[in-house]
Amino acid sequence: MSIKDATCGGKTCFYLEDDTVPYINVKPTNERKGVYCRGADIKQGGSKIGPGIEQMGNSKQDIYAVTDYLTGTHMPRCLEIELKGSFYAIALATLAPGATKPKAFAYSPSKAMGTETAHCVYDSLKPRCADYSQALTSFKGVRDIGCAASTYEPTCLDMCYDLHCPEDQPCGKTKSFDDCARCCGSNNNQASGCFRRRRRLGQVLSKKKAHDFEEGKQYSQIECAESCLNTMGCMSWRVLGDICQIASNCDKAPAPPGADKIMLRGNWHVYRGLTAKELNSQWEEKPKKSGDDAPKKKKKKKKGKKN
């Protein structure tokens, strides 16, 4: 993203994504670290994603970064930012349920992106969301709906994060992570091209993490929601036992005979922006009653008798 440091009221502040409204320090931890929130009404949220990213690229070749792979539209309203010498360590200001501390990401200046304010966890013209502040709020619960379910499998980038991002340091500062992430980017985030043998994971991961990849990770509600957001075309998800199921097609209408094996009915978390009509292939508009369009006459109030 685009990061520009400045001074607001004598204190360091940041302009993200070419926004004209800065992120100001509302809760300093020390001289180099604190919680920064966008200096606008809370209802406006964070800075819009895109204005800064879309300027990055190679102007001579007319190749620019795209936001097609970003499911978020705005930055979180508040972020924890720390100056770590040559890069910024940026994390969510609020903890996700079940997390012990926010995961920090190393945003380093990138000359390869073509702008002075470009900062990247890894250089890419197809950036993806690294973390979410409120993934669960992007979905709504829908009962008794059929969805074409598939079991979520760890992506190429999922493996890069687990392999090359220690919990005690910002993710994205090592060459091993950059190489891994670039491979994933050029391989459409498919693990097969960058991780040819999953057994190799055991040489780097702990036995517990290796077991997660080999036998199946146990997903929490928020992890499954984030997995859906990170999957292109995903519109719904649910945690079923130890697995995360996602779907790109759901229908409230009864499934035709033989389709019950594909469209699994149950309670799903569906993308909040979808309407009831979009979720029902047999949707029928309720016919209007005669006279509905005619202006209704206001009833005159009866005056009470005076004693």
Q: What is the mean pLDDT of the segment spanning 179-199?
A: 82
Cβ(13)–Cβ(7) below 8 Å? yes
Question: Domain range holding 224?
Answer: 134-152+219-284
Residues 148 and 111 in one domain: no
Q: What is the mean pLDDT of residues 48-63?
A: 94
Mean pLDDT taken over the chain: 86
| Same domain (yes/no): 68, 25 | yes
Put residue 241 in one of left, alpha, beta given phi > 0 → left and psi -120 to 50 → alpha. left
Q: Which of 191, 216, 241 is the last residue of a domain?
A: 216
pLDDT the model gives residue 198: 45
How do residues 100-111 score in pLDDT, each as one tens digit?
Answer: 567 899 999 998
Same domain? For 11 and 125 the reply is yes
Is 289 inside a domain boundary? Answer: no
Residue 170 pLDDT exceeds 60:
yes
What pLDDT is attached to residue 214?
Answer: 41
Spatial distance between the Cα atoms of 3 and 118, rounded to a whole number of angstroms: 6
Please check the confidence at residue 197 and state whether its pLDDT lies above 80. Answer: no
Q: What is the pLDDT of residue 236?
A: 97
Rounded mean pLDDT of 257-281?
86
Does the pLDDT at position 6 exceed 70?
A: yes
Last residue of a domain, one of 216, 233, 256: 216
Identify whether 280 is part of a domain. Answer: yes
223 domain-assigned: yes
Same domain, 125 and 238: no
Contacts of 159 by beta carbon, 8 Å cutoff, 6+ apart: 180, 191, 194, 195, 201, 213
Tally the domains of the chain. 3
Give pTM, 2 decimals.
Answer: 0.82
Instruction: State residue 229's pLDDT score.
Output: 94
The answer on pLDDT for 222 being more than 50 is yes
